[in-house]
Structure 1
Amino acid sequence: MHVLKSWVRVFCDTKAAEDVIDFYRGLTGGELTLSYGYKERRVRMAGISSPNLSVMVVAGDAAARKPFESVRLTLEVDDLAAVEKAFTYIGGEVLERAEGALFVRHPDGTLAEYVRHGGSAKAAVPAAAADQDGGGAS
């Protein structure tokens, strides 16, 4: 398994999204490499990528962002099955499998999303977190 790209997640109100995106573009010298609305969850996701730091901005009101905030890191990998096998071996915990994604707890307690490019781009919040928050927007 190889990590191809990683994003640290940051969270902001919808009204601040453009300013936050511009801030991280300026800070990192990065480019906006992904941007989409996640309408059923009432959030916008934006990825700013640079060689040294990539940031995933999750913008929405506080209630909409809440289920996303438990996951602090998104990693794109070349092989999800290898991630699952590695976590079984090293002591991490696979919490949930979703189409194109695994949600895991690292041994230090960090919750992370591992994705395989070409998988579901909207597997950004584990179902358990969504269930705790009433399932998000309709």
Structure 2
Amino acid sequence: MPNVASILKAEISRVARKEVRAEIETLKKASVAHRASIAELRRQVHALEKELRRVAKGGARPATAPDSPNETAEATKRRFSAARLVAHRARLGLSAASYGQLVGVSGQTIYHWEQGKARPRAAQLENLAAVRNLGAREVAERLAER
């Protein structure tokens, strides 16, 4: 006849392991969820730090409010896209030097703008906008005049 004490001990151990396993499983799921949320928070912090560095690098420029409605019309915001500059210059079939003559800058400056190494100033953006409104014939006429 088997020892009742050893059978009872084995059964208690088995049931205890089963209960502990169930508890540990819920803890593991919670741990995985916490690790995922920590990883997401780290990504958000990294993105915010990157944005902060970008803003700090750009410098804090004070926003100036225009004094009159005429200044508002004159101070329209112009956007600049290096890819659009490349596409426009390619569409016209111009070298960087020729395109630079139209805008009033050097060919090297055009290359720097296209590669994203530099950005045009406000006055140069106005010149770029003026050149963007020209057709191929007008561009050829202007280059022939210079």
TM-score by length of 2: 0.22
Q: Which has the higher helix share?
A: 2
Of structures 1 and 2, the one with the larger relative CO (CA 8 A, separation 6+) is 1
In the superposition, the TM-score normalised over structure 1's length comes to 0.23
The structure with the larger Rg is 2
